[in-house]
Amino acid sequence: MNRIKQIPLFIVAAILVGTKTYIVYRFYFDLSIETAFQEIILFINALAISMFIFFIAVWFRPKRQKRFIIITAIVMSFVIIANLMYYRNFTDFVTLPTLFQFNNAGDLGSSAVSLFYISDLLLLLDLALIFMFIKLDWFTIKEYSGMFRKRIVAVSLSAIMINMALAEIERPMLFQRGFDREYLVKNVGLFTFHAYDAVITASTQSKRLFADGSGMDEIDEYVNDHVREIEEPIDLTGIAEDKNIIYIAFESAQSFIIDEELNGEEITPFLNDFIDDSYYFENFYHQTGVGKTSDHEFVIDNGLYSLPNSAVFFTHAQNEYNSLPKIIEEEKGYKSYAFHANNGSFWNRNVMYETLGYDEFYDVESYDFEPEDEIGWGLNDKKYFEQSIDLMKDIDEPYFAKFITLTHHFPFEIPPEEASIEPHDSDSVTLNQYFQTARYTDEAIEQFINQLKDEGMYEDSIIIISGDHYGISSYHNEAMGEFLGKDITPYEEAQLQRVPFIVHIPDRDHTGTLSRLSGQIDFKPTILNMLGIENEKDIVFGNDLFSQNRKPFIALRDGRVVGEDYLYASGNCYEHETGEVVEGSYCDDIREQAEQELNYSDEIIYGDLFRFYDFEEGEIVEE
């Protein structure tokens, strides 16, 4: 017992918190560990960073050592648990810019509560032990000699260096691939990732200050060679001219629910029928990042990518953008309106919509409802569309109207009396409830389309319906695999990032399902072509969806790339048709071009480069 008491408390604390960190990595996060070497790195990085942080205590006097150890253990535990709750919703890790989005937390309601499990209380066991050890004086807390301090520093630095060396072997140029946060956490740990993220955030925030627009020539040349030149639109050019454009964002809808049944019933019966009289893109991918719905809005309005570690709507709402609402008003006199029964400040929409050129934003204050009219996050979709019809009667034509639904939102809770389909039966409550709210929103959209017809708004409108981002994260892969009857490999998980995209043109005979590879980045050029707007000098990274000749890949914001022949995900290259793993070199071309596009888009946003660009002339503005 005396020998045990001689062990410094900060070493015991480092081992306890490091072990907890590893347990969370291994059994709470859904990290893909494929080899014993990756397992070793995961264990080492959990202990190495814990040692590095707690070993700082050696420099303090005994009284301050206690305080340092307690505060450090609490802070590290908070970071771990906060990331765990965030991961359960987004299958991602918290970045510094998302901390400034916590004003959104007030709108989360039961969503946040459902992310915390009773079993998570076990993650506080190390804290309880540390407090007990201090109170019972079980381990040593004293002032240490200079030689001991040097040895402790050498040990902690050696552990970090070993971790970095192994990570470099496993994943060369790891920090140059910061868009893949899972790889960073797996190889260098959660806390090192947060330190790296802080450096990157500081760096990107300074880019605008030093930007001069010189990079636009290279970006313009790339867009001209890889995007503009391959456009070959089919016969839909100008088909939407003078018609209203109604866009409906079906919150959290993924393509796997289309034409799918649960307990012998169609999950989305209306959309299934609606697709028969529409153009349906079955290989359409969302390209959102941490900004989720707001990212999807940014991508479709601008033809640029979302950011890797923050929501553009928050961090770059004051930039100059050549957005869809601005172009269609200038070229065709269209007014743009946004309808969303949530707080105007949520995702900073009340600021960003003005930047993007929306003429009016109908937020929660525009709707009249009682608590019993709420489902999940707010006003139920049926009441929302019903009141939106009345608001639409007063807007100017022709218009672009964007509707964002709310009911089909995590955690997908709905009163039993409002559900018209039985829940799924699996170990995932989230997946079980997902189908019920999907059916409810499907019914709400059907009601809306019928109201458009009743009010005489249907015939003169192009109606577009799309999912905004995934709803079921990889945290529920086991239950999802059981429902789909297949193992959810990284390849299958990438396929689950497809969202429905439907273009409905009333009284058009020629329709059908199109299998071409496509994504949200293609929305803006598609609308411009349908309105007959030639925008040859625009800077976008997407193609008209109806073009015969298109880019051969779709870049997802998390580093995955979907190509026509191959798909890259989780460090592996897959044959797209079969899902079989093939040699990595087959994916090199699409990976390199995708990374180049993402970097160019990031440069434009971080540097606010459009303020230096003349879109009429297609050249940098002379100062």
Catalytic residues: 293
Neighbours of 348 (CB within 10 A): 22
DSSP state of 424: P
Strands, sheet with 512-514, edge to edge from the N-terminal-most edge strand: 360-362, 335-339, 399-404, 244-250, 461-467, 501-504, 279-281, 512-514
Nearest-angstrom CA–CA distance, 108 and 250: 18
Partnered with residue 183 across adjacent β-strands are: none
CA distance 474 to 261: 21
Q: How far apart are CA 178 and CA 331, in angstroms?
A: 39
The number of beta carbons lying within 10 Å of the beta carbon of residue 95 is 23
Question: What secondary structure does DSSP assign to 352-406, as a single string?
Answer: HHHHHT-SEEE-GGG----GGGEETTEE-HHHHHHHHHHHHTTS-SSEEEEEE--
Quote the CA–CA distance of 262 and 167 in Å, as a whole number: 44
311 within 8 A of 291, measured Cβ to Cβ: yes
Distance CA(417)–CA(432), nearest Å, equals 16
Cβ-based neighbours of 552, under 8 Å, separated by 6 or more? 517, 563, 564, 590
**CA-to-CA separations, 377 to 58, 184, 358, 405, 454, in angstroms, rounded:** 49, 33, 24, 10, 29
DSSP string, 116-181: --GGGGGGGHHHHHHHHHHHHT-SB--PPPHHHHHHHHHHHHHHHHHHHHHHHHHSTTGGGGTT-H
- The three-point CA angle 447-452-453 to 5° equals 100
Helix (H) or strand (E) holding 41: helix 36-54
Distances (CA, A) of 52 to 82, 203, 287, 435, 478: 21, 25, 37, 46, 36
